[in-house]
Amino acid sequence: MKVIEGGVCAAKGFSANGIHCGIRKNKTKRDIALIVSEKRANAAAVYTTNLVKGAPLTVTKAHISDGYATAVVCNSGNANTCNANGIEIAEQMSELVSKHTGIAANDVIVASTGVIGQPLDIEPIADGMAELVAGLGDNSAIAAEGIMTTDTKLKEIAVSFEIGGVECHIGGIAKGSGMIHPNMATMLVFITTDCAITTPMLQKALSGDIANTFNMVSVDGDTSTNDMVTVLANGMANNRTIDCEGEDFDTFMKALNTVTVYLCRCIAGDGEGATKMLECKVRGGVDVQTAKTVAKSVICSSLTKAAMFGSDANWGRVLCAIGYSGADVDVNKIDVSFESSKGSILVCKNGAGVEFSEEKAKEILLESEIIIHVDLNSGDAEATAWGCDLTYEYVKINGDYRT
């Protein structure tokens, strides 16, 4: 397995594009993206757990209820949520794709991101669809730009892998910067693969993977209304079809996980106003759920996030977050250390502070990627969660986001 170029266009038979159609006032920013498969693909998806859901999610669920899709269309700048005509607009977006590509409207996945509660005008989308379709090609990065909101960095990756000696490819693009919290967040992730895999196994792979990836990311504790992760598998690699668990399914899961973990780290590191990507690695849990609960609590702690912004080795905040997490742990067994490219330093042993160099700790915590190691010393279970520091800029961005 190796990382390759191409993003969502790395797999055979997929093309993409992104343009500025006029949803955003800023004409320098693309605001709509399209991904198309040459062949009708098996489709799987997971959605936000927020009870308030954007209309595109409702439409997408209906469209892929038969297990298939051929295209993905996504606009940015307006989330199409809490709008009286939201379903109608989402369906119209599908119909516009159908009109200009010949793809059946009910084979289109629809997504939307941006401001909640603001009416979405279909006119700019209708006016721009011909240009969007005409520009379809090996344009994964351009499509990735089209789905960005407050993101500052483009998020894409692809890998190649083998199933039964046949080379397959899987790639993805993502957006996500704020309103990010475990159990799906303001993130949109579109993954494509030419691997032949049945819809039930594709859904099984995706649902199993997100429990340890996208559901372990938090930027600010807010769960969005429009989150969605989708995978399209068109089978054009012509490998033996994966229709059950086994070695081939395990290989596919590893490839999928390589893509999703990379995108998780990108999303966490590009949190609104963030200067540092935080990774909490927990080991020694009595079970996986305990390890996950602890990792999430640490990564969600506003005080810990603020301390990381200030490069302050305030390990007490980590222990505090573990203490209120609800996990059944023995606080007298917990070890904590901080790590970055500048080294590692133990700051807490058996639930109590140890002598350490504040200067060395500061040097470690000044780096842009920080690992918070937590050892519960009570078992063999492990878990990892991703997040970012909490900065002044986060408040500035969200103080006037709508206006």
Tell me, yes or no, whether 183 and 265 share the same domain. Answer: yes
Question: Total structural domains in the chain?
Answer: 2
Residue at which a domain ends, from 215, 236, 269: 269
The whole-number pLDDT of residue 87 equals 94
Tell me, yes or no, whether 23 and 93 share the same domain. Answer: yes
Tell me, yes or no, whether 212 and 313 share the same domain. Answer: no
- Determine contact, residues 344/369, Cβ cutoff 8 Å: no
The whole-number pLDDT of residue 222 equals 47
Tell me, yes or no, whether 343 and 284 share the same domain. Answer: yes
Residue at which a domain ends, from 237, 269, 301: 269
CA–CA separation, 85 vs 227, rounded Å? 19
The whole-number pLDDT of residue 180 equals 47
Phi, psi of 179 (to 5 degrees): 55, 45
Tell me, yes or no, whether 61 and 124 share the same domain. Answer: yes
Q: What is the CATH number of the domain that holds 245?
A: 3.60.70.12
Residue at which a domain ends, from 212, 237, 269: 269
The whole-number pLDDT of residue 152 equals 83
Domain assignment of residue 142, given as a range: 2-269
- Determine contact, residues 115/79, Cβ cutoff 8 Å: yes
CA–CA separation, 366 vs 313, rounded Å? 10
For residue 2, the tally of other CB atoms under 10 A from its CB is 8
- Which of 8, 1, 3, 55 has its CA nearest to residue 232? 8
Tell me, yes or no, whether 128 and 54 share the same domain. Answer: yes
Residues belonging to the active site: 186
Tell me, yes or no, whether 13 and 123 share the same domain. Answer: yes
The whole-number pLDDT of residue 342 equals 98
Phi, psi of 365 (to 5 degrees): -80, -5
CA–CA separation, 320 vs 164, rounded Å? 49
The whole-number pLDDT of residue 344 equals 98
> Mean pLDDT, 10 residues at a time, over the chain (403 residues)?
97 98 92 98 87 81 97 92 87 98 98 84 97 98 93 93 98 76 63 98 96 81 66 98 98 98 89 86 97 95 94 96 96 98 98 97 97 98 93 78 60
Sign of the dihedral defined by the CA atoms of residues 76, 15, 7, 185, in that order: positive
Tell me, yes or no, whether 174 and 256 share the same domain. Answer: yes
Tell me, yes or no, whether 247 and 302 share the same domain. Answer: no
The whole-number pLDDT of residue 149 equals 84
CA–CA separation, 296 vs 81, rounded Å? 27
The whole-number pLDDT of residue 185 equals 40
CA–CA separation, 219 vs 390, rounded Å? 8
Q: What is the pTM of this model?
A: 0.86
Tokens, residue 175:
């957006």
Q: What is the CATH number of the domain that holds 387?
A: 3.10.20.340
Tell me, yes or no, whether 22 and 164 share the same domain. Answer: yes
Tell me, yes or no, whether 380 and 353 share the same domain. Answer: yes
CA–CA separation, 371 vs 114, rounded Å? 31
CA–CA separation, 31 vs 151, rounded Å? 13
Tell me, yes or no, whether 221 and 176 share the same domain. Answer: yes
